[in-house]
């Protein structure tokens, strides 16, 4: 019997896509259906980017309302509750819906190109990640429209404020379940990226030849798979506390609220590196290109990235120096935290070393990158300051900390992500963004950012606590707050111009050649924008900065190209099931939010777990259908002109998939 099965399997691959599974597989790869069923890492990357930019603007508007409220003392622009909701949603949105997905957009779009892969290892899982991210964002923001409104618990959601007794409304449940879906999105993405980077590198592309951005993608993915379980479990425990009467964090039953802080920061601290390491990767790509020099001390930068990631799991309690930890624990966590300054410093030294002796061109991506180094350095210094618990005792939960992490996350992550967007925009769209407008955006953002956040150092040291919706004039904080608000609006104008510019450039920008910056890494060797199959040939890598070597290096280090075999290039099929599975999860999570809650429009009906079960069944059906459908696949035959200089494929080989 086995042999019968075998011969069936080895039937020649059909030229047409396989129409298998419960539903017919979608074939149309344009329009709405094409987008909803796509498994192409590039389209998924663009989906992530658009979603993330939308949420960046949303979170930005929330921030501007916050700053407007704080512009003058004792203002009553918004209520205390609204303010608390705004800062909760601002933090959650920026971390989970803006910076992480924007990084994920680069992981998706750029990383497979950098390693010469046709797609990621599990294309449909990749689509699932995108849909979970978008639906998670929707779920979180749906809370605004239900009684009680958005959560007002802070992005850290310290128990027991999240207990039903203190936050009876559904907002907290929206927050819990929204984060669970977003966690799934991050996790499936991370498993996918790890497998892709480790397993799907082009021939010759050894780990120590990987572009730095790909390395940071790998380390970030490991951080995600190891950090997110902690928050997942903490959220499950909190959900049980709120819905099923357990006592994990409830003092009356013997629960310890401090446990929530530990579990949260076991996740939360690596999360900080999840936000910053991709940015460091982007910077490490851009600096060499515009200095026309290779990265200085590549092995050490890779190694320090790994060390930062590893140490990130050993320092979580430095967020809790004021919670009454013992002297030994405090000291240990303080010294471990200080250690992190060393690998971080290494990176800065090496970035300067990269530019040293180079030929620096100040294009927009380069300006953002240099701005990143300055701002990140500032954020690092304040980080060193509150790694010392006595200093932190004054700074914890004040605007000093707000200044610190905005220097790291805006001056750091956002600046780097903007650098990345300016840098890779020509690759993604085939069009250039205007350099002059780009510089205006940079200077507006740079000035606005510093004006908004530098005074916060002083506010913090002069005693202004975070998360307060107003303050008294006697405190002497009026002036700094005023200027800070002005700065925030300048920063907002900068970002607005950026959005206009990116839309304009998409339609009207100048056409870009495939390598407009004279770059160094593999993604610049394919078309702009890349074809569906990324590379018409299989690249065989012989050097770290392969594209640079091709242009300026010695003959021995030139890239070899292998033409596709006679079957053409194998491509995965599109699928509805990732979308359906994620909708099932969405329904299940929504059902958990509605559990035993009076829902508008259903005045009398109160749901138990019916909706959750329905959603889980839908998820299960989606997964089974997904598995039965199989990866499918079809073959494309690129125009031979695209691989004119390639050597023919060996007859029996499948080529590099």
Partner 1 sequence: MSSHAANTDDPHAALEPLKKTSTGIENKKLAMWAFLASDCMFFGTLISTHLIYRKVYPTVVEPTEFFDIELTGFSSFILLMSSLLMALSVSAAHKGNIAGMRRFLLGTIFFGLIFLSGQVYEFNHFVKDAGLTLSSSVFGSTFYVLTGTHGVHVALGVLWLSCWTACSLPKDWAWYTLRGGRFLWLPIRVIFAPMVGRYKHENALDVEVAGLYWHFVDIVWIVIFTAVYLVEYLPILGF
Partner 2 sequence: MATTRDMADTQQKSDVPDYIIEEHKKYFTFFNLSIALIAITGIELVIIYVPINKWFVFSSLVVLSTVKFLGVIWWFMHLRWDRALCTIVFLIGLILATGTVTALMLLFSRDPDGPPEIMTLLPPFLW
Partner 3 sequence: MRLRIRTPFLAAAGLAAGLLLLTVGCSLNIEGQQSALDPKGPVAKNQYDIFMLTLYVTTFIFITVGGALAWVLWKFRQRKGDDPNFIPPQSHGHPMLEMGLVIASAGLLVIIAIPTFGGIILKKVVPEELLDGAIEVNVVGFQWWWAFEYPEQGFYTANELVFPAGRAVKINLRADDVIHSFWLPKLAGKVDLIPGQENFIWIMADEPGYFWGQCAEFCGDSHAYMLFRAIALPEDEWEEWLETQQRDTVADDGSFEPLLAREDWGYPEDKILKGAEVFRQACAGCHSVNPRIQTNGPNLAHFGSRTSVAAGWYENEYDLLYRWIREPEKVKPGNFMYRGFLDRDGRTVIMPGLKDYDLSDEEVHAVTAYLYTLR
**Is there a cis peptide before residue 160, judged by omega within 30 degrees of 0?**
yes
Q: Does 65 bind partner 3 (CB under 8 A)?
A: no
Residues β-bridged to residue 561: 539
Residue of 472, 510, 637, 654 that binds partner 1 (CB under 8 A)? 654
* Residue 634: its H or E element: strand 634-636
**Exposure b/e, 402-431, CB count within 10 A at least 16 = b:** bbbbbbbbbbbbbbbbbbbbbbbbbbbbbb
CA distance 384 to 340: 9
Closest distance to partner 2 from the beta carbon of 11 (Å): 24
User: Pick from 14, 147, 390, 513: which binds partner 3 (CB under 8 A)?
Assistant: 390
Give the per-residue SS3 of 74-137.
CCCCCCHHHHHHHHHHHHHHHHHHHHHHHHHHHHHHHHHHHCCCCCCCCHHHHHHHHHHHHHHH
555 interacts with, out of partner 1, partner 2, partner 3, none, CB within 5 to 8 A per kind:
none
| Residue 11 near partner 1 by CB under 8 A | no
Q: Are 471 and 398 in contact (CB under 8 A)?
A: no
Positions in 259-318 near partner 3 (CB under 8 A): 291-300
Choices 228-236, 358-366, 409-417, 591-599; region in contact with partner 1 by CB under 8 A: 228-236
Question: Minimum Å distance from CB 16 to partner 2?
Answer: 35
624 binds partner 1 (CB under 8 A): yes
Q: Give the shortest CB-256-to-partner 2 separation in angstroms.
A: 8
Q: How near is the Cβ of 254 to partner 2 at its closest, in Å?
A: 9
- Per DSSP bridges, beta strands 634-636 and 560-562 are unpaired
Task: Give every CB contact of residue 640 below 8 A, 6+ residues apart in sequence.
Answer: 563
Closest CB 328 distance from partner 1, rounded Å: 17
Q: 152 touches which of partner 3, partner 1, partner 2, none (CB within 5 to 8 A by kind)? A: partner 3
Q: Answer yes or no: are the C-beta atoms of 215 and 110 closer than 8 Å.
A: no
Based on the shown chain and the rule CB under 8 A, indicate whether residue 208 belongs to the binding site for partner 3: no
* Residue choice 103, 396, 413, 574 for contact with partner 3 (CB under 8 A): 396
One DSSP character per residue, 5-29 reads HHHHHTSPPPSSPP--SSSPPP---
Judged by DSSP in three states, 294 sits in coil
Residues 316-355 that bind partner 3 (CB under 8 A): 322-324, 327, 330-331, 334-335, 338-339, 341-342, 345-346, 348-350, 352-353, 355
- Least Å distance, CB 195 to partner 1, is 5
Q: Toward partner 3, which CB reaches closer, 359 or 508?
A: 359
CB of 230 to partner 2, least distance (A): 8
Q: Tell me how far, at minimum, the Cβ of 196 lies from partner 1, in Å.
A: 8
| Max Cα–Cα distance, the chain, nearest Å | 87
- What lies within 8 Å, CB to CB, of 442 at 6+ separation is 364, 367, 368, 371, 418, 494
Task: In whole angstroms, give the CA distance from residue 254 to residue 252.
Answer: 6
Positions that interact with partner 2 (CB under 8 A): 194, 198, 222, 225-226, 230, 256, 259, 262, 266, 313-314, 317, 325-329
Between 194 and 421, name the residue whose CB sits nearer to partner 2.
194
450 binds, among partner 2, partner 1, partner 3, none (CB under 5 to 8 A by kind): partner 3
Stretch touching partner 1 by CB under 8 A, among 156-164, 231-239, 347-355, 538-546: 231-239
Nearer to partner 2, 5 or 328 (CB): 328
φ, ψ of residue 562 in degrees (nearest 5): -115, 130
464's contact among partner 2, partner 3, partner 1, none, with CB below 5 to 8 A by partner kind, is partner 3
> Is residue 465 within the footprint of partner 3 (CB under 8 A)?
yes
- Nearest approach in angstroms of CB 423 to partner 1 is 26
Q: Does the N-terminal peptide bond of residue 529 adopt cis geometry, omega within 30 degrees of 0?
A: yes
Closest to partner 2 by CB, 256 vs 531, is 256
Residue 324 CA to residue 550 CA, distance in Å, equals: 59
* DSSP per-residue letters across 589-610: HHHHHHTT-B-TTSTT-B--SH
Annotate each residue in 236-275 with x if it binds partner 1 (CB under 8 A) or - if it does not, as one string.
xx--x---xxxxx----xxxx--x---x--x---------
Instruction: Identify the residue among 6, 16, 74, 639 touching partner 1 (CB under 8 A).
Output: 6
Indicate the residue among 112 and 255 with the shorter CB distance to partner 3: 255
Least Å distance, CB 476 to partner 2, is: 38
Q: What are phi and psi of 300, to 5 degrees?
A: -70, -35
Closest to 524 in 3D by CA, of 171, 116, 189 = 116
Q: Tell me, letter by letter, the H, E, C secondary structure of 556-579.
A: HHCCEEECCCCCCEEECCCCCHHH
Q: Crossing angle of helices 327-355/257-291, nearest 10°? A: 10
In the three-class reduction of DSSP (H, G, I as helix; E, B as strand; rest coil), residue 647 is classed as strand
The minimum distance between CB 324 and partner 3, in angstroms, equals: 4
The answer to whether the Cα torsion of 390, 395, 400, 402 is positive or negative is: positive
Give residues with Cβ within 8 angstroms of 303, minimum separation 6.
Answer: 343
| 529-588: contacts with partner 3 (CB under 8 A) | 552
Of residues 185-204, those binding partner 1 (CB under 8 A): 187, 190-192, 194-195, 198-201
CB of 319 to partner 1, least distance (A): 17
At its nearest, how many Å lie between partner 3 and the CB of residue 392? 7
| Total residues interacting with partner 1, rule: CB under 8 A | 55
Interacting residues with partner 1 (CB under 8 A): 1-3, 5-10, 22, 121-122, 187, 190-192, 194-195, 198-201, 205, 225-230, 232-234, 236-237, 240, 244-248, 253-256, 259, 263, 266, 624, 627-628, 652-654, 656-657
């Amino acid at each position: 019997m086995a042999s019968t099965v075998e011969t069936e399997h080895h039937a020649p691959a059909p030229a047409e896509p396989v129409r298998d599974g419960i539903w017919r597989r979608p074939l149309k790869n344009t329009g709405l259906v094409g987008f909803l069923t796509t498994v192409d890492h590039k389209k998924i990357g663009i989906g992530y980017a658009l979603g993330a930019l939308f949420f960046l603007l949303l979170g930005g508007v929330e921030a501007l309302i916050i700053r407007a409220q704080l512009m003058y003392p004792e203002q009553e622009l918004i209520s205390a509750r609204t303010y608390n909701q705004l800062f909760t949603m601002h933090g959650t949105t920026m971390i989970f819906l803006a910076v992480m997905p924007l990084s994920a957009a680069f992981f998706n779009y750029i990383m497979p190109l950098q390693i010469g892969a046709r797609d990621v290892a599990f294309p449909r899982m990749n689509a699932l990640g995108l849909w979970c991210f978008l639906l998670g964002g929707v779920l979180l923001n749906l809370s605004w429209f239900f009684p009680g409104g958005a959560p007002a618990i802070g992005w850290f959601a310290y128990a027991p404020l999240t207990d039903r007794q203190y936050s009876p409304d559904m907002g907290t449940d929206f927050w819990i379940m929204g984060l669970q879906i977003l966690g799934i999105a991050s996790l499936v993405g991370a498993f996918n990226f790890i497998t892709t980077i480790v397993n799907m590198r082009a021939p010759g592309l050894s780990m120590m030849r990987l572009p730095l951005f790909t390395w940071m993608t790998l380390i970030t993915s490991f951080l995600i798979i190891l950090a997110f379980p902690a928050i997942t479990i903490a959220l499950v425990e909190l959900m049980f506390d709120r819905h099923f009467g357990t006592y994990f964090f409830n003092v009356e039953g013997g629960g310890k609220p401090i446990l929530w802080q530990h579990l949260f920061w076991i996740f939360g601290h690596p999360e900080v590196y999840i936000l910053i390491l991709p940015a460091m990767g982007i910077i490490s790509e851009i600096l060499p290109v515009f200095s026309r020099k290779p990265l200085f001390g590549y092995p050490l930068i890779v190694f320090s990235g790994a060390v930062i990631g590893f140490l990130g799991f050993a320092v979580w309690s430095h967020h809790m120096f004021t919670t009454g930890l013992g002297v030994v624990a405090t000291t240990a966590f303080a010294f471990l935290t200080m250690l992190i300054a060393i690998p971080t410093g290494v990176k800065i030294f090496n970035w300067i070393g990269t530019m040293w002796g180079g030929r620096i061109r100040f294009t927009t991506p380069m300006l953002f990158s240099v701005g990143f180094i300055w701002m990140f350095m500032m954020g690092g210094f304040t980080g060193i300051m509150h790694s010392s618990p006595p200093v932190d005792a004054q700074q914890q939960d004040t605007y000093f900390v707000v200044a610190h992490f905005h220097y790291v996350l805006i001056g750091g992550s956002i600046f780097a992500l903007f650098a990345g967007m300016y840098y890779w925009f020509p690759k993604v769209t085939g069009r250039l963004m205007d350099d002059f407008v780009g510089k205006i955006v940079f200077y507006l953002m740079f000035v606005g950012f510093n004006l908004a956040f530098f005074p916060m150092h002083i506010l913090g040291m002069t005693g202004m606590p975070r998360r307060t919706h107003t303050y008294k004039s006697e405190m002497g904080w009026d002036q700094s707050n005023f200027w800070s608000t002005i700065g925030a609006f300048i920063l907002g104008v900068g970002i607005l111009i950026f959005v206009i510019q990116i839309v304009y450039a998409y339609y009207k920008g100048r056409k870009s050649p495939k390598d407009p910056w004279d770059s160094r890494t593999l993604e610049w060797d394919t078309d702009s924008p890349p074809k569906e199959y990324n590379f018409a040939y299989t690249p065989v890598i012989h050097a770290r900065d392969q594209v640079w070597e091709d242009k300026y290096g010695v003959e021995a280090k030139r890239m070899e190209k292998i033409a596709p075999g006679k079957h053409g290039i194998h491509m995965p099929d599109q699928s509805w099931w990732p979308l359906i599975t994620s909708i099932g999860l969405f329904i299940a999570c929504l059902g958990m939010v509605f559990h035993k809650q009076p829902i508008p429009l259903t005045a009398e009906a109160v749901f138990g777990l019916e909706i959750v079960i329905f959603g889980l069944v839908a998820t299960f059906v989606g997964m089974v259908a997904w598995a039965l459908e199989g990866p499918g696949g079809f073959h494309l035959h690129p125009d031979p002109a695209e691989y004119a200089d390639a050597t023919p494929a060996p007859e029996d080989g499948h080529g590099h998939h």
